[in-house]
Amino acid sequence: ALELQLQPFAVLLRHTLDQLQEKDNASIFAEPVSLDEVPDYLEYIQTPMDFLTMRQKVESHKYKTMDEFELDFENIINNCLMYNAKDTMFYRSATRLRDQGGMVIRASRRMAERVG
């Protein structure tokens, strides 16, 4: 498709994001953590991140490399591991997403090398 010629990397990142979000079946990483629901969140977390924000960055071509994309993904995970206690669903979801998401990103990296 024309899109694939003009912005293959954005297409690849969008597809990668779709696969990562499939692993977040409770959708706890889908949007920015609500500061109404979690008023002290910014006392602990300096750089919040979520999949919606990442998607907006893909669409505005903010990611030039897979490394930049992966840094935001790792940020989503690490924020959650820092803020939530180990015995919470949130914490366990983050470790699961880290493990399952790692494979997704490695496969996308190989695609990015091919797309060049």
Ligand X SMILES: CCOC(=O)c1ccc2c(c1)NC(=O)[C@@H](C)N2
DSSP string covering 79-103: HHHHHS-TTSHHHHHHHHHHHHHHH
If one counts every other C-beta atom within 10 angstroms of the C-beta of residue 76, the result is 23
Binding residues (CB under 6 A) for ligand X: these are 28-29, 33-34, 37-38, 80, 83-84, 90
| Pick 13 or 33: Cβ nearer ligand X | 33
CA distance 7 to 29: 26
Smallest separation (angstroms) from ligand X to the CB of 51? 10
CA distance 12 to 4: 9
| Pick 91 or 109: Cβ nearer ligand X | 91
- Ranked by CB distance to ligand X, the top (closest) residue is 37
Euclidean distance between the first and final Cα of the chain, in Å?
A: 17
| Pick 27 or 65: Cβ nearer ligand X | 27
Smallest separation (angstroms) from ligand X to the CB of 57? 18
Smallest separation (angstroms) from ligand X to the CB of 59? 22
